[in-house]
Amino acid sequence: MPAPVLIASTAAWLAPAYGVAAILALEVAYLFLRRALPRFQLRLLYHLWALGVGAVAALVAAGLPAPLEAVWKAVAAAAVLLTAIVLFGVLEAAILVRPWDARRGPYMPKLARDAMRALLVVVVVLVAARTILDQPIETVLVSSTAFLAVVGLALQDVLKNAFAGMALQMEKPFQAGDWLLVDGVPAQVVDMTWRSTHLRTNEGWDIFEPNATMASGRLTNYGSGRNPIGLNFEVGLPYATPPAQARQALEAAVRGAPGVAAAPPSEVFVMSFGESAVNYRVRAWTQQVAQLSRFHDSVHGRIWYQLQRDGITIPFPIRTIEMHDRDRRHAAEAAADRRRVAELLARLPLFHDLQPEALERLAAAARRLDFDQRELLVREGETGDSLFVVARGQVLVSKSGALLGTTSAIELAHLGPGDFFGEMSLLTGEPRSATVTAEGPCQVIVLEREAVAPVLAADPSIAEALSRRLAARVAETEAKLESRRGQTRPAEAAVQVSLLARIRTFFKLVE
């Protein structure tokens, strides 16, 4: 074969080879890019870009013959546009969508990224039209203006939402992770697109609110929970309750409610005087903006229990006319309640030796208190002079493990209806020896020193019977701890003698 023919044949194969090599190189790079940047989403455009670059390489290697000049310009312009889009996609996946803070979302919101991509496409089209396609800028701008005018008229609502979204991105009244109040429903901001803002409620509902509505309406932003927010709770209390007592009860209720922030402190205000109640506003602070329903539940529940324990009733907004003897009915109900309490006390081993009259006197002075789940009834080390009898529910008795060489608390007992605790504080006045926590909503009968003192003064011999019962109780408790401490407990008789002396001293009884 002659040499010129061989050279021509080689040149004919060289151009496609360059094109194929460029495509293979870019596809291999895509495999590494996909592993390194899993957020890279431009798969189809990337493959089209690889084909465009391969075509450009093949045309350049072919020497750009005159018949292929128009094809070269079109392919080159498309390749330049795809190059800009793909490179921006790599930048977006590598930097712009990476969250600097998981609670605040990506470094740049999606709407801002889309706006940058659109601006980049416009600039690249103008540059390619001028430098590659040899089109005057004026012609391109006039054509683009006419096209954009038609598109703008057809997409007025879409463009209104798009510009509203841009305004929101510039002003930043909220960001991804914040909780907004939408039609009275708390919802978390997920993302923002050209048309709408994506929100999600605690119930799992997805809300897509148009950006124009978000920009023109009133926004209530609870934040992401980083900073505490104050929520108000309205409570109406009787006129007979002094404001100082009402504030003390409401502050104590809110202070121990789950979810209440330590700072700022909760506040109580007298707001107005209603027809049947004095209206109070309780302001509590929380960082649990993602669980506002649970927070409202815990605060309202604790307020009810605290008011019930303090004997403060929430008045009904009604007028009642009673046509019967109310005092007689109330007296009958109180007598029936005293009998029930006396029967409960009679079943306690501590009071087995008491006469029915003494039990009636104790029952008349006893009080009923209600506690919510996880509320403390008594705390280890606190002073006290009262006995608790569980009437309903269950409580946990625990003791600090410091004396036993452990940091965790030791569970001593789970007490239910009919069980009692606090007898040492009632009879000797010594500090509480254990912590008692409500394991659920419970009610207890509280018997204080002032109720027991008249009974012992009337019959001092009762103190000896109480000391025997108390010594047996102490021995039972010590038996649960002695194996852990490696110590032996003192004799029960000696404990009884000591307890009897302390009871007589505490109640000032004459031997």
**Are 147 and 177 contained in the same domain?**
no
**Are 240 and 376 contained in the same domain?**
no
Secondary structure of 362-373 as H, E, C letters: HHHHCEEEEECC
Alpha helices in 217-325 (DSSP H): 243-255, 292-309
Q: What is the predicted pLDDT for the residue at 3? A: 43
Q: What is the predicted pLDDT for the residue at 321? A: 60
**Are 437 and 466 contained in the same domain?**
yes
Mean pLDDT by 10 residues, the chain (511 residues): 43 64 72 66 69 71 62 73 75 66 56 71 73 64 56 58 73 83 86 82 87 81 88 91 89 89 90 90 91 90 91 76 66 82 84 82 87 88 88 90 66 88 82 89 88 78 71 63 50 56 59 58
Question: Does 31 map to a domain?
Answer: yes
Tokens of 75: 């392919």
**Are 484 and 406 contained in the same domain?**
yes
**How far apart are alpha carbons 389 and 368 in whole angstroms?**
9
Question: Does 402 map to a domain?
Answer: yes
What CATH number has the domain bearing residue 278?
3.30.70.100
What CATH number has the domain bearing residue 451?
2.60.120.10
Question: Cβ contacts of residue 57 below 8 Å, gap of 6+?
Answer: 18, 19, 21, 22
Pick from 223, 241, 257: which residue ends a domain?
Answer: 223
**Are 138 and 28 contained in the same domain?**
yes
Question: Does 314 map to a domain?
Answer: no
**Are 214 and 238 contained in the same domain?**
no
Q: What is the predicted pLDDT for the residue at 509? A: 55
- What's phi and psi for 376, nearest 5 deg? -85, 125
Residue 180's closest CA among 168, 194, 190? 190
**Are 106 and 135 contained in the same domain?**
yes
**Are 480 and 444 contained in the same domain?**
yes
Question: Does 159 map to a domain?
Answer: no
> Beta strand pairing status for 267-273 and 229-237?
unpaired
Domain total for the chain?
A: 4
Q: Is the preceding peptide bond at 356 cis, omega within 30 degrees of 0? A: no
Question: Cβ contacts of residue 268 below 8 Å, gap of 6+?
Answer: 246, 247, 250, 251, 280, 281, 282, 283
Question: Does 445 map to a domain?
Answer: yes
The CA distances from residue 305 to 136, 280, 293, 300, 441, in Å, are 81, 17, 19, 9, 9
**Are 489 and 350 contained in the same domain?**
yes
Tokens of 436: 């008692």
Question: Does 163 map to a domain?
Answer: no
Q: What is the predicted pLDDT for the residue at 335? A: 83
Q: What is the predicted pLDDT for the residue at 449? A: 84
Tokens of 435: 């912590």
Helix (H, G, I), strand (E, B) or coil at 107: coil
Question: Does 160 map to a domain?
Answer: no
Q: What is the predicted pLDDT for the residue at 6? A: 39
Q: What is the predicted pLDDT for the residue at 495? A: 56
**Are 266 and 384 contained in the same domain?**
no
**Are 250 and 290 contained in the same domain?**
yes
Q: Please report how the helices 492-507 and 462-485 are oriented relative to each other, as an axis angle in degrees rounded to 10.
A: 130
Tokens 């151009």 label which residue? 15
What CATH number has the domain bearing residue 195?
2.30.30.60
Pick from 294, 309, 324: which residue ends a domain?
Answer: 309
Q: Is the pTM of this model over 0.85?
A: no
Q: What is the predicted pLDDT for the residue at 441? A: 87
**How far apart are alpha carbons 111 and 196 in whole angstroms?**
10
Note down the domain range covering 274: 229-309
Question: Does 344 map to a domain?
Answer: yes
| Widest Cα–Cα separation across the chain | 140
Pick from 183, 206, 223: which residue ends a domain?
Answer: 223
**Are 118 and 198 contained in the same domain?**
no
Q: What is the predicted pLDDT for the residue at 147? A: 55
